[in-house]
Chains A and B, each alone.
Chain A
Amino acid sequence: MGDHSNCGCTRRQSLRSILGASLVIPAILSDLMAADVSAPSDANPLAPKAPQFPARAKRVIFLHMSGGVSHVDTFDPKPKLFADNGKTIQGGKYLTQPKWKFQHYGKSGTEVSDLLPHMAECVDDMCVIRTMKNDHNDHFEATLGIHTGSVTFTRPSIGSWTSYGLGTFNQNLPSFLVLAPQLPYAGSQVWGSDFLPAIHQGTRIVPGPEPIPNLKPRTPSPEIQEMELGLIDFFNTEHLRGRDSDPALAARIKSFETAFHMQKEAPEAFDLSKETDATLKLYGLERGSTEGFAWQCLVARRLAERGVRFIELIDTGSNTNWDAHGDMQTCVPLAKNIDQPIAGLLKDLKSRGLLQDTLVVWTTEFGRTPFSAMQDAKGREHHARAYSSWLAGGGVKGGITYGQTDDYGIEVASNQMHIHDFHATILYLLGMDHTKLTFRHAGRDYRLTDVAGQVIKEIVA
């Protein structure tokens, strides 16, 4: 296929030239094409929609760390936990000191542990939330909880809700993309649309040669595929001729145009060859590598630039993850995998002016127990009662922390951020009232936040 971007014509014209080779474009199709950014219509549920009120963030990059990251070893400094290491608490358990020391960073002086030295450099852009609360202590349920608000029953993912509420900018790419090297706990339910229209479900991208399924042409030559598209268009035009106008038929004709562009644009979005050495270095990515979180982070920035509404990155899957029961040292390679790439992503977004309207969310399904069954335990167990996450960019106050846990990081002491509050606040930053983003299903208006959740306005800039 010729590289149409080099021929001086717009993409729309280039499709015309392909289809034009076979026959004229049907009137309805050109109408649709004229209205690239149209009001939402039945024909295109993904057309960008105005938020309910002015939005602080236009898009989300949602970083989910699978397995449960220890809060007391990363973002929740507990000097007393160091001091009282080995002391017993109620229930005969032993306090277990963090495995990494904490230091103050940035102008804000926010403390971060030595496990994440690169992310630490970005604290002035972060609002570190130290009082997250999830509703379940098991991976499967808690992973569903942080994504859907429900720890038991299947519900739409936050990415699907966002797509449903706002549509997306780039009609040539899915509205909700999930970059996940492995299946997470609860599998594809994590990005499922459930009762929302299926078009809002997440499309999973597996890092590798074919990130989006069926993206690579299989015809013997690109020319033959163009011919096939022309022939499809001919048949569809003939078909339309004998029939009353039907938005579904027209939309399906249009979907081939979009697919054709996606076929070109998506590989381009995933092609890092034109990134400079400096950028690659910022993320800690080796040239040519398509693996690791650095690749995911850099691709996320490219997708954000290309107008994808909700981009989720999952670092690992349901095994070999942050679930450090046996030994906290197993977190070292996991931290190394994410630390510099995430810092790189924040710095890169900032230098390109994208951070101000891109909300970056860093979270996990739960934290880990600050105590253990025995003295000098190497690992930690699940702890959903209090843990840490952070938000950056997209209208969030940087350089602050929100909420406090008790002296040992066991319970929330003040300003709890329940997952419903977390979701309500994210939707608020996107210009949506979580109580008004509803979908009627089985006789009830469902929400991401069920019947709870409060927007935490203290952290909004």
Chain B
Amino acid sequence: MLATAFCILATAPVFAHSVSSAESSENPPFPPATPQAVVDVTSKIFPAVVRLDVAQEIYVDGKRSVQRGIGSGVIFDNDGRILTNFHVAGRAAEIYVTLFSKERIHGKLIGDDHWTDLAVVQMDMDEVKQKNISFKHGELGESNHLIPGQDVMAVGTPFGLARTMTLGVVSNNERTFYPEHMSIDEYETGDFSNWIQMDTPINPGNSGGPLVDMTGKVIGINTRGGGQNLNFAIPIDLAKEVISKILATANDKTKGHVDRSDVGIELKPMQDLETFFAVDIDKGVLVNSVDRKSPAAKAGVLPQDILLEVNGRPTNCRFPEELAPVRKMISDLPIGSEVTFKLKRGKDSLQLSGKTEKLQGAVGEEKEFKTWGLSVREVTRAYANRAQLDDSTGVVVTTLSPGYPAAKAELQPGDVVHAVNGKNIEDLEAFSKIYDDAVDKKQKAVLLQIQRGRGRQSVVLKITYGEE
């Protein structure tokens, strides 16, 4: 066996030489990084890449604060819209855009989607006109034809340095991180697509910048680093979908977002379990767990069911890389629509049906309450499931201001507030109303009913009001 392999290797260069000289002149498998191509692509893409200085909203010590960071982005249309990562510009309170011309203008976050780690920023076009700035936009290409070995270029502003380009190849075009669930500061991410893995060096600050092929088209958004020359980009095909959904839902009052469906099933690849469950290879996906009170739970789906079809479309997943497309197919279903599951349970075949509901992350809206000295978040369905709460009513304490009433009353992050002054709290809005009311009336003792672990407890906030 080894001898044969050696022979093949020995002859390979001869083969390759003759093949490549024939191929390269007519039909290369991908646009190559010839010196001319590199120079052309660089000059094409540089003017479209921007540096983003972002002040992100965070809650610290019971107060709303900002965390400053730097990332990159790519302008993708003539209206001055920029594509970047959620972890760069999501939750932005303030954005500065530095263009190729080195001019600095304001930007505004018009929408984001933490599930795919993408965000869309709008350049202040009035400022652009006023300062007589001209810019170019990048051309968005396609990512479904990328092949390992293909030459690519990453452009961005690593460490805040002006436009930097690095060269490399696509290392893998279906990178998955199963079974770890990735997150950005507790926001879920990465469930609905695989990544492009490339070896172009990228560094902190490169996030959000474009990955381009040798025709200068954007085929990915540089997102995270891994090990030595092991980096990951979001495929542009996915980004294009997200952009159009964000732009469709963005307006003056609300941020653009992507709505997805959820049925409450956690899936697991069938790998090596086919014989045990007596299914054919490449048929079906394992239901690993079913979320409490979810559409699937209500429909009667059970763990260890084999999900064969959803609404008639096959859900085959033998390997971890095949999970993301199946999850995406489910999430793309219209929210609130009928969904049928075709399942295999033991020897039986079943058809169960339910209604999809809106996908919610575990991180709900957060707000500060200065007089009481704490910040709280909405309890979402996903958070309630994870923390094994009875239901998703109430708000959860996130941070406390040292020395203020909430901290002095020994409230803790993770406590769920269920009632204030005898009134049950449904959500963040209800909590805000009662807070505003209590502060208006200068109430000195506020009675809270909280849940900590399995126990309920009364907590009293003692508030002193300063001289006005």
- Tell me whether A and B are bound partners: no
Please list the residues of chain B having a beta carbon within 8 angstroms of any beta carbon in chain A.
none
Please list the residues of chain A having a beta carbon within 8 angstroms of any beta carbon in chain B.
none
